[in-house]
Amino acid sequence: MMRMVKLMLAGVCIGLVTGAPLAQTDLLLHNVAKELTVPWDLVWGPDNHIWCMEKTGRITRIHPDEGTVQEIHQIPGVYQSFDNSGAHAMMLHPDFPAQPYLYVNYTYSEFRGRLDKLTYSLSEGLVVASETLLDQLPGNSSHNGSRLQEGPDGYMYFCTGDMYMAMIAQDLDNLGGKVLRMDWDGNPAPDNPFGNRVYSYGHRNPQGLTFSDSGHLYLSEHGPANDDEVNRIVAGGNYGWPHVEGFCDTPEEASACDSLAQIPPIAAWTPTEAPCGMSYFNHPSIPEWENTLLLCFLKQQHLKVLHLDDVGEAVESEEKMWQQELGRLRDVLVAPNGRVFLATSNREINGWDFLAQDLDDRIVEVVNPQFDYDELNPRSIREVFLEQVAAQTTAVDVLFPQPAHTDVSVLLDREVDEVSFTVFDAHGREVMGADDMALPVPGLLNFSVAHLGSGVYILCVSTENGRSEALPLLVSRR
Ligand SMILES: [Ca+2]
Ligand SMILES: [Ca+2]
Ligand SMILES: [Ca+2]
């Protein structure tokens, strides 16, 4: 009940919105953040904040209890058409912040998009560098997709739209209308089904992508005037577009259904309702929703709850929540402790802003006031990072990770501002180093070993008071 009391207090400031009854649970909606501009993708960070990317390319960290919005970056050169192009997908590296990277997809001209890897500075709280992993992606005024997800296999999954060029969805050499599977530098995963980045194909305009606890991958996609779809994605699968729309159920589709090994959706809706962000839910915080897909809808303005069967291969039933109460919904986020957040999409420049309410666009939390949520205690990124580093070993000086692949962090036992360091190989030869290097975070030395081969090295660190130490450093190129 503490949560209820806190919400009632918070409600005085930012407002409880409305409720909705389930079988045993009366859910409340609670405004978390307001006056955003089409928040397209919400991501949960290891700092227990909501990381939000708006269609404009603005990226913010949002405190889930206080609603404070801290801008950390504006992607330069995001192109927004009258319609739907702009910034569409964001994710954090799964080892964030030890690997302090964000991945973003956006259009930068009317017909081109990019996938960029952004570097977040722990000490500055800002994005400080950017690298383009995939350039010259096809793009258009709409049908750009997209979403990014980390797979349980450690690879990046990225769904893309057909860019209004339907046939590219069937072209295995084109990156549009696909689910792509890549490593964290944008290279094809080594065991992909076609020897390139393509994992599945025949998709129209997918804007929802989520993994279940048991490792099933689900994708939502917009249909034309008929057949919005939710698909369960398998490696190498052809999902039909543009030859088949929804299920094989019209005479026009018969020959394609016979000749293509196309996989039907697990759910489809006609007339279209415009499905978008989707998240698998399986938490006791809302018992009626265990083992469901939560799916946002734009045109039909609701959250759909899709109840899956035990093996996750079929939708058994569905229900609509908050229809036309919040306007268009773009994304849904489930936090590790079972909190659920929705993003509205009412301030769009393609003519939907008549829907906008005073607080739009908003992030709204779905709350079960009867559930005692584990306390989330938002901490700084640096605290999280130092805890991760410290958890690696009990030694006084901590070097992380071991073995190192690209970047090395050394947490020194004292908060000095400056160090000199040298790395020697197993033959005693000096292979790299720096003199009087300033440390942006006192006591934390970071450097790259990406150019070193696999092997055992010795790292010598000395500080201004003359103290020096030697630490073994293992580098692995695998
Ligand atoms: Ca998201
Ligand atoms: Ca399909
Ligand atoms: Ca059909």
Per residue in 199-228, pLDDT (tens digit) is: 999 999 999 999 999 999 999 999 999 999
Residue 16, pLDDT score: 54
How many angstroms does the Cα of residue 165 sit away from the middle of ligand 3? 19
Q: Going by C-beta distance under 8 Å and a sequence separation of 6 or more, which residues neighbour residue 460?
A: 421, 422, 423, 424, 468, 469, 470, 471
3-class DSSP assignment, residue 77: coil
CATH of domain 2-367: 2.120.10.30
Nearest ligand to the CA of 276 is 1
How many angstroms does the Cα of residue 40 sit away from the middle of ligand 1? 8
Nearest ligand to the CA of 89 is 1
Per-residue pLDDT of the chain (478 residues; tens, 9 = 90+): 445 545 544 443 344 556 677 877 899 999 999 999 999 999 999 999 999 999 999 999 999 999 999 999 999 999 998 888 999 999 999 999 888 999 999 999 999 999 999 999 876 789 999 999 999 999 998 999 999 999 999 999 999 999 999 999 999 999 999 999 999 999 999 999 999 999 999 999 999 999 999 999 999 999 999 999 999 999 999 999 999 999 999 999 999 999 989 999 999 999 999 999 999 999 999 999 999 999 999 999 999 999 999 999 999 999 999 999 999 999 999 999 999 999 999 999 887 888 898 899 999 999 999 999 988 877 777 677 677 666 654 444 677 777 788 888 888 877 788 999 999 998 999 999 999 999 988 888 999 999 999 999 999 998 877 777 888 898 987 6
Nearest ligand to the CA of 51 is 1
Q: Omega into 146 within 30° of 0, i.e. cis?
A: yes
Q: Which two tokens stand for residue 33?
A: 């953040």
How many angstroms does the Cα of residue 431 sit away from the middle of ligand 1? 42
Integer CA distances (angstroms), 91 to 14, 129, 158, in order? 28, 16, 10
How far apart are alpha carbons 170 and 192 in whole angstroms? 17
Residue 392, pLDDT score: 52
Q: Omega into 361 within 30° of 0, i.e. cis?
A: yes
Q: What is the DSSP letter of 236?
A: T
How many angstroms does the Cα of residue 390 sit away from the middle of ligand 1? 30
Q: Going by C-beta distance under 8 Å and a sequence separation of 6 or more, which residues neighbour residue 429?
A: none
Residue 394, pLDDT score: 40
Provide the residues around ligand 3 (an ion) whose CB is within 5 A: 245-246, 249
- Given the candidates 1.10.357.10, 2.60.40.1220, 3.30.200.20, 3.40.1010.10, the CATH classification of the domain at 392-475 is 2.60.40.1220
Q: Which two tokens stand for residue 368?
A: 């079960």
Residue 406, pLDDT score: 83
Nearest ligand to the CA of 229 is 2
How many angstroms does the Cα of residue 204 sit away from the middle of ligand 2? 8
How many angstroms does the Cα of residue 343 sit away from the middle of ligand 1? 9
- Mean pLDDT in the chain? 91
Q: Which two tokens stand for residue 450?
A: 């990406």
How far apart are alpha carbons 127 and 140 in whole angstroms? 27
Domains 2-367 and 392-475 share a fold: no
Digit-coded pLDDT (tens) for 371-411? 999 888 777 776 776 776 666 544 446 777 777 888 888 88
Residue 10, pLDDT score: 44
Nearest ligand to the CA of 253 is 3
How many angstroms does the Cα of residue 220 sit away from the middle of ligand 3? 16
How far apart are alpha carbons 446 and 23 in whole angstroms? 53
Q: What is the DSSP letter of 167?
A: G
How many angstroms does the Cα of residue 220 sit away from the middle of ligand 2? 10
| pTM recorded for the entire structure | 0.82
Task: Kindly provide the b/e burial profile for residues 459-472, where b requires at least 16 CB atoms within 10 angstroms of the residue's own CB.
Answer: bebebeeeeeeebe
How many angstroms does the Cα of residue 282 sit away from the middle of ligand 2? 26
Q: Which residue type is seen at 133?
A: L
Residue ranges of the domains in the chain?
2-367, 392-475
Helices (H), 272-422: 381-390
Q: Which residue type is seen at 214?
A: S
Residue 395, pLDDT score: 42
Residue 85, pLDDT score: 93
Which run of H or E residues covers position 359?
Answer: none
Provide the residues around ligand 2 (an ion) whose CB is within 5 A: 239-240
Q: 160-167, long-range: CB within 8 Å, 24+ apart, which pairs?
A: 160/105, 160/203, 160/206, 161/203, 161/204, 161/205, 161/206, 161/207, 162/203, 162/204, 162/205, 162/241, 162/242, 163/111, 163/138, 163/139, 164/140, 165/138, 165/140, 166/204, 166/241, 166/242, 167/242
Q: Going by C-beta distance under 8 Å and a sequence separation of 6 or more, which residues neighbour residue 354?
A: none
Residue by residue, DSSP assigns 90-115 as: EEE-TTTTTS-EEEEEEEEETTEEEE
Nearest ligand to the CA of 232 is 2
